[in-house]
Amino acid sequence: MKLGWDLWTGLERRLSSWRSSDDPSPGDLTWGIKLQNNPETIIWRGLQQYFRSGPWTGIAFTGAPELFQNPVFKLNFVSSEDEVYLSYDLKNISAFSRIVVHQTTNYREGYTWKEATQTWVLYASVPRDSAKCLQNSSCIAYSNSDVREGGSGCIIWYGDLIDIRQFPAGGQELYIRTNPSESEAKAEPTVEIAVIVSIVIAMVSGLLVFCYCICKRKEKCRGKVTGTFL
């Protein structure tokens, strides 16, 4: 698969969702490459940017490491005067793989065919649940709807969280969104303590230096007095 731009002809290749599960006409969710100083992959909903991968580091995209860290394919990114594109090479050429952009879930998902169970198995998904939650100002918490195969699907909570239980083992991870101001408030006492400790250390060090200088002066004075009497 080749995703990106032919800069000579202006041709752009994007991956588009179906309008619905039974309507293969193009939907409004697309995945492609945005041309800029540091090109990156973008998921658009219509004209609105929905998710971005971050710039290419040479081995992966900064905001989507899961695109690189997978057992199915090798990721290649090319940015030259002629082309800017992303391509995939299967690590196992006998394997079957597909990438889908979902109109309803807003995910770009990668699947590989599992012969033993005759099913498609999810191996990568973007954006992550955290990205979806942070993009929604009303989101309180999020979790995977299916914890198998590293987790997939997304459950997002709105409003108050009630009836939450903590288990020593066998439970499901719940990620709760916090207000940045709360994190800053928690960090303030630590900063204040650090400042106070620094001031105390500086004062003690200054006092020791002062005492040392006084002692040296006294020794010099004693030497002068002794020399006079001799």
Residue 220's pLDDT band, with cuts at 50, 70 and 90, is low
More confident residue, 67 or 17: 17
Half-sphere exposure of 20 (CA within 13 A, CB side): 2
Count of beta carbons in the 10 Å neighbourhood of residue 162: 6
Residues in contact with 70: Cβ distance below 8 Å, sequence separation at least 6, in sequence order:
110, 123, 124
pLDDT above 90 covers a percentage of the chain that reads: 15
Whether the pLDDT of residue 228 is over 60: the answer is no
Return d(Cα 96, Cα 173) in angstroms, integer.
Answer: 31
Q: Which helix (H) or strand (E) holds 178?
A: none
Task: Give per-residue pLDDT as tens, 83-100.
Answer: 999 988 888 878 888 889
Instruction: Average the pLDDT over each of 15-19, 21-25, 125-129 and give the range with the smallest value.
Output: 125-129
Q: How far apart are the first and last CA of the chain?
A: 100
